[in-house]
A and B are shown apart, each in its own frame.
Chain A
Amino acid sequence: MRDAPDHSEELREILPGVGSTIPRPRQVRLAAGDISTGYGTDPNLMTPTPTWPGALTIYERRFVSALSDVILPSEGDDPAPSEIGIDNFFDEWLSAPYQSQVADRRTILAGLDLLNEVSNALFNAEFMHLSRRRKRRAVDALVKEEGDGLDFFVRFRALVVGAYFTSDVGMRALGYRGNVPLRGPPGVSNAAKRIIDRELRKLGL
């Protein structure tokens, strides 16, 4: 029975202001001596600075970039993950000292090894040396195997998608139009109201 780490807590949305959507603690008894190895409970919010070193090798950075570009290739004006520094994201994420990220480090690094095994088995070459089409075939083969390959793919994909669409460029590509100061509430366009009306009528409302 596979024992995939449970990341459901992060993928679940926190609704800011709704306390019960903030993930429950693993423990509430923190002794005085519990010192965080992360950024601590009072980090600088205005100018965040890295508090742990990145631990990925250059090879690993290139690997995650290459795989990310297969998972979410560029399209039109929207850049590929490698063009927006996805390797920096992975380096920070997979080097972080928190439990969830430590689990991800194991899963992702093991998964990359597995992907290389699959690439070698299919094409006698490492993943990064494959053509774009062969990269996709390697990913497909990885996913077809139940078990670790599938778990790795699902988790890696969630991280790439999350990281990409929370980048400044990615938020816009996703369709976010906020985070801009306005003189009044934005309101809903008449075009959108017509669409809403039409959809409601289809639902009988």
Chain B
Amino acid sequence: MVPGRKEFDVIVVGSGAAGGMAAYDLALAGVSVLMLEAGRDYDPQVETPMFHTPASAPLRGSNTADKVAGYFDATIDGGWAVPGEPYTVADGSEPFIWWRSRMLGGRTNHWGRVSLRFGPYDFKPRSRDGLGVDWPITYDDLAPWYDKVERLIGVTGAAHGIENTPDSPNGIFLPPPPPRAHEIFLSRAFTKMGMRIAAMRAAILTKPLNGRAECLYATQCTRGCSSRSNFQSTTVLLPDARSSGNLTIGCNAVVHQIDLDKSGRAIGVSFFDRVTGESRSVRGKAIVLAAGALSSTRILLNSKGALFPNGIGNSYGFVGKYIMDSVEYTMRAQVPALEKVPPQNDDGMFTPHIYMPWWLYREQAAGELDFPRGYHIEPRGGRRLPSMAVGGYVDKTNLVYGRALRAETRRKYGSYVFLTGEGEMIPNEQCYCELDPSVTDRWGIPVLRFHWRWGEAEVRQWRHMKQIFGEVFRLIGGKVGAPDPMPTGGSSIHEVGGARMGFSANDSVTDAFGRCWDVNNVFIFDAAVFASQPDKNPTLTILALASRGAARMIELSKQGGL
């Protein structure tokens, strides 16, 4: 599995967005890279059940304890729980749940593909309104990396000139698909309420790109994609990185610590073979942590030594601190007017074809809202692949059967719309993780214990979402059921923070390039370094930061600094 080579230039822990991007840039630059992935090898080109229908899956593909997001979801050996790798939540804490998969390419195989740049405001939140902390970089620092990443992976979109919603330079965006029937319908209500309708920015190809085929406008990206038409590390980054000859990948390698020499320099990592249980170590001149924000944080905490009794990077106590999640909240309505739309093919590309960026900056700045930061809105609906949920369209308030049941079910199908808000969270001191004092994983390594508490800002933002979504539904005659409660911490699977980047060692874990202050040949490229969690999904920014960080590593190495 891992060759007996003596030492690699760089060990990259993790194969997802950050790990894949770093390995790609480093390997193509001639650096010898060992990538260690906790899960098994996985090849979407032969493993994706592209057009498989529900009837071909057990239980019609319904979610079970084994496949929590449904049978055909690409997640392997994971979900909210990973067998043998528990986590805990502290007594008195609000609930917190954590999604991990164990597969080459990590969560890039099954993520939602929404790819939004952070805007200028998002890097300087404290300067704007006094809350949270500023990033040590500006949008302008990262913009060239967003350009580079988008050119490489392919992102749809259009330029709209919307506040804090940067448009990619000419020639980068791939053509966005036209709105679906329910999106056209909803847009009228959104516009009436003062929102701008933006073309969705999705990591899905609407034109062939770099040898990858255009989307087939049919299947769910969360299954993965055998035509390489969306972004997954496994199909977009790893193949070319491997072709360079400089990348070695070891799967089923669960890294638990960075190994240090007596002077406090990293010399390699130690890991367990997930299949045999064997404990091994491997040497590298530099280490990149890209295991996922909280996994990387855990590795830091478990990497102790005389110089770092609380873990690497933790000299000032910032490792594990200020973890954040998106405020992700969905409301559903049944819309009688949409029943009139005759059956159409609503598949399109997997994501919504439109989204509504935050539109109340002015009102917020003027103090008219009782919460400080915004959210964007993603609409879903239409006639998409049926699931067993169709059985719930006619519920216990209506006891029909026979012809009436068939007619009623058909009538309602396609008339449900879902509005999902993705909101910014202010980092707060009550959201952090630490090593559990007693619980260990199957290899005896301490697991994470979470503390979580939504701040008042998030609760108010959620209330605002309910109010706005309710207003949209009222305008279109939608019928809403009992709304869901405040989302659970971690449930958006956008968990970030734990090793934030900053201006100096005494209030952060890494510098502006993800280089660990404590150990300067350790780099963190995943979302552990996020200083804020704006209303933009994290993946695109992870890719940009990883690419920028990899370039920095190469520069330092040329200068002799690594």
Contacts and interface: CB of A to CB of B under 8 A. Distances in A.
A177 B64 CA distance: 27
A15 B380 contact: yes
A150 B353 CA distance: 41
Interface string B198-218: 000000001000000000111
Contacts of A21: 330
Contact of A13 (B88, B95, B332, B406): B332
A28 B82 CA distance: 8
Given A30-B81, A165-B386, A202-B337, A18 B55 contact: no
Contacts of A12: 389, 392
Which of under 10, 10 to 19, 20 to 34, or 35 or more describes the interface residues of B? Answer: 35 or more
Interface residues of A, number: 96
Nearest to B183: A188
A76 to B, nearest CB: 10
A171 B53 contact: yes
A191 B218 contact: no
A185 B188 contact: no
A3 interface: no
B113 A174 contact: no
Given A32-B442, A158-B392, A27 B81 contact: yes
A133 B46 CA distance: 51
Interface in B52-103: 52-73, 76-84, 86-89, 95, 97-99
Contacts of B442: 31-32
Contacts of A162: 60, 387-392
Contacts of B218: 178-182
A200 B188 CA distance: 8
Contacts of A78: 406
A177 B383 CA distance: 8
Given A27-B81, A185-B178, A168 B55 contact: yes
Q: Is the interface of B mostly helix, strand, loop or mixed?
A: loop
Contacts of A92: 58-59
Interface in A1-57: 10-32, 34, 36, 38-43, 45-46, 48, 50-51
Interface string A156-173: 011111110111101101
B1 interface: no
A182 B177 CA distance: 13
Given A25-B79, A195-B340, A188 B184 contact: yes
Contacts of A165: 386, 390-391, 409, 413
A51 to B, nearest CB: 7
Nearest to A18: B420
A156 to B, nearest CB: 10
B220 interface: yes
Contacts of B72: 45
A74 B64 CA distance: 31
Given A24-B80, A193-B184, A185 B349 contact: yes
Interface in B476-506: 476-477, 487-488, 491-494
A20 B390 contact: no
Nearest to A159: B391
A45 B56 CA distance: 9
A185 B65 contact: no
Contact of B83 (A30, A178, A196): A30
A18 B340 contact: no
A17 B221 contact: yes
30 contacts: A14-B387, A16-B220, A17-B113, A17-B350, A18-B380, A19-B491, A20-B329, A20-B330, A29-B88, A30-B81, A38-B58, A41-B66, A43-B67, A48-B58, A50-B58, A72-B406, A96-B58, A98-B65, A98-B66, A158-B391, A159-B391, A162-B389, A162-B390, A165-B409, A178-B383, A178-B385, A179-B51, A185-B217, A200-B185, A200-B337
In the complex, the 9 A-B pairs of residues with the closest C-beta atoms, listed nearest first: A17-B112, A162-B391, A11-B392, A19-B493, A185-B177, A178-B347, A158-B391, A32-B442, A162-B388
